[in-house]
Structure 1
């Protein structure tokens, strides 16, 4: 029995490492499907692997960090092939340290993965997306400069593109995975028609907004508000993910509102749109979830108070009630018994 438990303790961490590495690798390969070139450096507008790494740390814990490192190495190996340089280990270290440091900082500020408070959404944005990804973007861009792939003058431009791509992965992918990890029961049947209506509307409106030559990207805002109001974090982040993917496809194809723009202009417009959309979806859904939980807490407290009052009322004898309050439709007020402090008159 003891040997079985010891074997399980040795196998479980290895399985978690392989699972996280596989998820990181799959997310990295998906992110590489669409790329932009800025200052002779190729980058991805959304790097979902960083979001997967942070979500794995928040769900599993710090023990899964070897899986992040292994997944990052496999992604780099798939890009460079057998000619991968030893300096690639700098990128592996940066891509591993970024989500780990973000996780430690989130634990420090009291972050809750349920995203049921507005402060949790703000913490994920500031600590997870903006601060944590500074490590990966700085090490990755610095490595490009050290190896001579880009000039020093292009450092800030490439660094900004790298940083925003990693931050977008955290803003969109991490909340969605945290919501999926908490899912226990299917959506209630009465909500399916509304969910289907939202899906059909998104499928019709989002491609039109992202590929039309007329600048109508603002059409996605009502969809985000609808999804956040009715389906909270899961609905809003799914809508944000679909919109971001469609906008990235349009940007890399150079169509719609991104037609005729330079590479830097495409990058700036796409990242500004994706960032604004993701921030709106995440913070609005977190605020609505917090208000719903507050309302439910108040309703439960009121219900408990009613039950306590009914219990106390039922325990009083009928003679303790004044005649005018014996009507069952009239609220009953306890009448003080003789000798109670309320019956004592001043001498």
Structure 2
């Protein structure tokens, strides 16, 4: 029987699983918004979210700036649904030959990607209690991503199906300290769920662990013995948000809000689908179904906005947003089997501000 040394193979595990299981979090997330979902209000979307922290007539103020709630004089209820139709056209023009495969390219054709239509719902409620104090509630999805590729596309070892969704329940209050100045705060209870799948090239893994003769005898050759891994995990985290609203005049408003980071300790399961001829590779309690754990910190952000109304027909508004993406330095998944942790260096950083 062929055997392998777990210690000598551990570096390869880290690379296979780090690239495969973890990179699928971030496929199609190269834009500056990262995992953030800005589609929180139909009204604000209509004006490109300009001046969102100064909004006083839409329920999304609970999310964008809770201080503004005490500036409204009537109950507000907003139920919003955004349908996202993201285009994706994949062409395999830049992939390089893999030396592990003897210079062969990964199999798979062009245009094998699709991003499902995604519905992003939000619900907001604002209730003034008197002229100085108001309560509010927001239920929305401030972070998320979703993509899907066909099972035979060239990047199948990086990602096939990937989903991340953060559902945020955000009660808040606002206190009007003067006619011009208001303060607001809120509590954020956030549920995070992830579902990730990708193919595993057990043929290539065999060549890294055993010798060519042993692998060939088992028909374990690169790209000819694919299995799959599915990761599913969830977590509940807690954060807060703060806001300030200031009316320079009846027609000119300023707003600043801060949303804290939320740390998630994700727990879940890894499930492997291993070809029968690759069972030899699982003998040391690796590539087996097991529990997993990971830590993800969704970043904090600061939003500043202004608005000025010239007349009932014309107004001008703008905002500046900064997000601490440097929280996303590494993504690490720990397996409760003998399998080493898999880690992916992200090294995300702040590129400046979003206007």
Q: Normalization by structure 2: what TM-score?
A: 0.25
Structure showing the higher strand proportion among its residues:
2
Structure showing the higher helix proportion among its residues:
1
Q: Normalization by structure 1: what TM-score?
A: 0.25
Which structure's CA Rg is the greater one? 1
